[in-house]
């Protein structure tokens, strides 16, 4: 076994508004499959037979009991639960399973939907005996209107600056706009070793990392690092160019640990490799006469996808976009065999109808996903929407650009545009709702018309 797969599925989905109010993020339906199915499928496709899934008790319970979130994967899932309220980061989670880690690891986030060729990332990892290799992709613009948002979403998130070398593979620099006081500062020593550096912005990190086992061991000794993306990766990228011999001796115990680990961090098979490197005339750079990799032992690489699908479903907008694209990722019949669909209705080719649905006459469904056991009555028009499981839509409804969560009931003749309707909510008959969320608080106040 060369790599162990670790799936991080304990995130709360805090940026997804009320979508995750009742359903934990890993189990949100995307194209009528739970979100977690996509990374699992990705791993299965490339031949993993076993995967460690780090998740919460709640998710574990739902996976084992709820028939709607059937995971339909052949891999052996090793579910590890962590406490929800412990506020653990991804690195904490990795530290938590350190005992299980026997080789290098491939860490994937549960919200990744991609058709990337995984071997590209792993090949970089293998070819350069890298400490870290990761996947990035060009950021996508979300075109669909997001419920509850009027107009274009402002670019609130700060840009990431990513520096790669001339080949576009070696990761040299990483900084977030938020951390920069004035301009991008790049050390000249890096420039001397890598005279050509491309600085890119507008990339999304797919949160897919190959890490050396020694990095996991390093994490175990350094408890201060709690997030892979936020702390560990920038740390490793930075450490590529600092000489451990040069650093002043620190009395502080933790620092000494750190230093010890720096040298350890990439030391598997080092002796033999060193010999091969010495004997070989291969070099990773040209222009000067120094050794391959300039004698550095820590190396970070990145594969940047030029085309193809790569989404992180961590916002409502991304969720809607993913639902639109999901059908392209697997070839299954759009209409589930067990669904009861009237012949006199119109179902677009880009729609998905889940198992045991009931769709009545004179209904039109376009570019939408209808979840399991949902009932759609007569004369209903659904466009550009996501209907989750167990929803009932009464006669004559018009639903456009909305997300209806599980077990909601939409009263007869309701007109819903660009809304997010929370799970188990009832929308009164003939209601007219525009651009808003429709969730718990609204029904509590019995006010169903929020804005005209």
Partner 1 sequence: MSSRGGKQKKGNVTSEQEEEEQPLQAVLVADSFNRRFFPISKDQPRALLPLGNVAMIDYTLEFLTSTGVQETFVFCCWMSNKIKDHLLKSKWCRPTSPNVVHIITSDLYRSLGDVLRDVDAKNLVRNDFILVYGDVVSNIDVSQALQEHRHRRKVDKNISVMTMVFKESSPGHKTRCEEDDVIVAMDSKSKRFSMVTDEFEIRHDLLDCHISICSPQVAELFTDNFDYQTRNDFVRGILVNEEILGNQIHLYVTQDGYGARVSNLQMYDSVSLDMVRRWVYPLTPEANFTDQQGQGCTHSRHNVYRGAEVSLGHGSQMEENVLIGRDTSIGANCHISNSVIGNNCTIGDNVVLDRAHMWNNVHVSSNVEIHQSVVCDGAVVKEAVRLNKQCVLAYNVVIGPNLSLPEGTVVSMHHPEEEEEDDDDEFLSDDQEVGHSKDKTRQKAFNPAEVGPEGKGYIWKASMNDTEDEELAQCLWGLVLNPDPESDSESEASEESQDRTFQLEVLGTLQRGLEENIVCDNLVLEINSLKYAYNITLKEVMQILTRVVLEYPFQQQGTQLTTLQYTGSLLPLLKTWSPVFKNYIKRAQDHLDCLSAVEELFLEQDTHQTAMVKVLMKMYQLEILEEEAILKWFSTGATNDKSRQLRKNQGVMRRMSLWRKESEEDESSEEGECGR
Size of the site for partner 1 (CB under 8 A): 27
Binding flag, residue 220, partner 1 (CB under 8 A): no
Stretch that binds partner 1, among 28-36, 87-95, 284-292, 368-376 (CB under 8 A): 284-292
Residues 173 and 242: their CA atoms lie apart, in Å, by 13
Binding flag, residue 191, partner 1 (CB under 8 A): yes
Q: Which of 12, 82, 6 minimizes the C-alpha distance to 314?
A: 12
Residue 260 beta carbon to partner 1: minimum distance, rounded to whole angstroms: 14
Residue 300 beta carbon to partner 1: minimum distance, rounded to whole angstroms: 15
Instruction: Please report, as residue ranges, which positions from 67 to 96 form the binding site for partner 1 (by CB under 8 A).
Output: none
Residue 288 beta carbon to partner 1: minimum distance, rounded to whole angstroms: 5
In a 3-state reduction of DSSP, which class is residue 276?
helix
Binding flag, residue 283, partner 1 (CB under 8 A): no
Residue 161 beta carbon to partner 1: minimum distance, rounded to whole angstroms: 10
* Of residues 238 and 336, the one with the C-beta less far from partner 1: 238
Residues 114 and 42: their CA atoms lie apart, in Å, by 8
* Of residues 253 and 343, the one with the C-beta less far from partner 1: 253
- Which residue among 45, 119, 152, 243 contacts partner 1 (CB under 8 A)? 243
Count, residues in the chain: 452
Residue 370 beta carbon to partner 1: minimum distance, rounded to whole angstroms: 39
List all residues 6 or more positions away from 386 whose beta carbon is below 8 Å from its beta carbon: 29, 319, 320, 323, 368, 369, 402, 403, 404
Integer angstrom CA distances of residue 421 from 33, 418, 428: 20, 10, 12
Which region, left, alpha or beta, applies to residue 373 given φ > 0 means left and ψ of -120 to 50 means alpha? left
Residue 39 beta carbon to partner 1: minimum distance, rounded to whole angstroms: 28
Q: Which of 365, 451, 449, 372 minimizes the C-alpha distance to 406?
A: 372
Task: Please state whether beta strands 29-30 and 33-34 pair in parallel, antiparallel, or not at all (unpaired).
Answer: antiparallel
- Which residue among 15, 128, 238, 336 contacts partner 1 (CB under 8 A)? 238
- Which residue among 152, 192, 260, 449 contacts partner 1 (CB under 8 A)? 192
Binding flag, residue 213, partner 1 (CB under 8 A): no
- Which residue among 247, 276, 338, 441 contacts partner 1 (CB under 8 A)? 247
- Which residue among 280, 286, 306, 337 contacts partner 1 (CB under 8 A)? 286
Q: Which of 414, 427, 342 minimizes the C-alpha distance to 382?
A: 414
Binding flag, residue 127, partner 1 (CB under 8 A): no
Task: Please state whether beta strands 364-366 and 346-347 pair in parallel, antiparallel, or not at all (unpaired).
Answer: parallel
- Which residue among 74, 102, 188, 279 contacts partner 1 (CB under 8 A)? 188
Instruction: Please report, as residue ranges, which positions from 143 to 182 form the binding site for partner 1 (by CB under 8 A).
Output: 163
The label of the residue with tokens 């990439």 reads 266
CB 410 within 8 A of CB 397: yes
CB 160 within 8 A of CB 174: yes
The residues of the shown chain that bind partner 1, judged by CB under 8 A, are 163, 186-189, 191-192, 195-202, 238-239, 241-244, 246-248, 286-288
């Amino acid at each position: 076994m060369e790599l162990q797969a670790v799936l991080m599925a304990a995130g709360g989905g805090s940026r997804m508004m009320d979508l995750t109010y009742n359903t934990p993020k890993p189990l949100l339906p995307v194209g009528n499959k739970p979100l977690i199915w996509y990374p699992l499928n990705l791993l299965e496709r490339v031949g993993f037979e076993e995967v460690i899934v780090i998740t919460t008790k709640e998710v574990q319970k739902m996976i084992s009991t709820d028939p709607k979130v059937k995971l339909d994967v052949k891999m052996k899932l090793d579910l590890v639960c962590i406490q929800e309220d412990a506020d653990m980061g991804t690195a904490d989670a990795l530290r938590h399973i350190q005992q299980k880690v026997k080789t290098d690891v491939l860490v994937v986030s549960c919200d990744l939907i991609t058709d990337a060729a995984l071997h590209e990332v792993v090949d970089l990892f293998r070819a350069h005996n890298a400490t870290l290799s990761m996947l990035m992709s060009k950021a996508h613009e979300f075109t669909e209107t997001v419920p509850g948002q009027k107009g274009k979403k402002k670019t609130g998130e700060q840009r990431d600056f990513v520096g790669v070398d001339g080949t576009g593979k070696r990761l040299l620099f990483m900084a977030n706009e938020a951390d920069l006081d004035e301009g991008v500062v790049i050390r000249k020593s890096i420039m001397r070793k890598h005279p050509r550096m491309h600085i890119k912005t507008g990339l999304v990190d797919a949160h897919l990392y190959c890490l050396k086992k020694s990095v996991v061991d390093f994490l175990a000794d350094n408890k201060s690092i709690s997030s892979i993306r936020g702390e560990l990766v920038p740390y490793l990228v930075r450490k590529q160019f600092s000489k451990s011999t040069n650093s002043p001796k620190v009395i502080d115990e933790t620092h000494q640990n750190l230093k010890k680990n720096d040298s350890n961090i990439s030391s598997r098979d080092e002796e033999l490799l060193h010999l091969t490197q010495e004997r070989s005339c291969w070099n990773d750079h040209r222009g000067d006469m120094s050794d391959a990799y300039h004698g550095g032992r820590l190396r970070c690489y990145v594969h940047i996808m030029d085309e193809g699908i790569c989404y992180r479903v961590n916002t409502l907008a991304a969720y809607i976009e993913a639902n639109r694209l999901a059908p392209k990722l697997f070839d299954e019949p759009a209409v589930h065999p067990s669904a009861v669909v009237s012949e006199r209705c119109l179902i677009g080719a880009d729609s998905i109808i889940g198992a045991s649905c009931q769709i009545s006459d004179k209904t039109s469904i376009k570019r939408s996903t209808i979840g399991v056991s949902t009932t759609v009555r007569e004369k209903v028009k659904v466009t550009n929407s996501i209907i989750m499981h167990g929803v009932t839509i009464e006669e004559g409804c018009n639903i456009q650009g909305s997300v209806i969560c599980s077990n909601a009931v939409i009263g007869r003749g309701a007109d819903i545009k660009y809304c997010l309707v929370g799970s188990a909510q009832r929308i009164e008959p003939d209601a007219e709702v525009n651009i808003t969320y429709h969730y718990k608080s609204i029904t509590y106040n019995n006010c169903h018309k929020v804005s005209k």
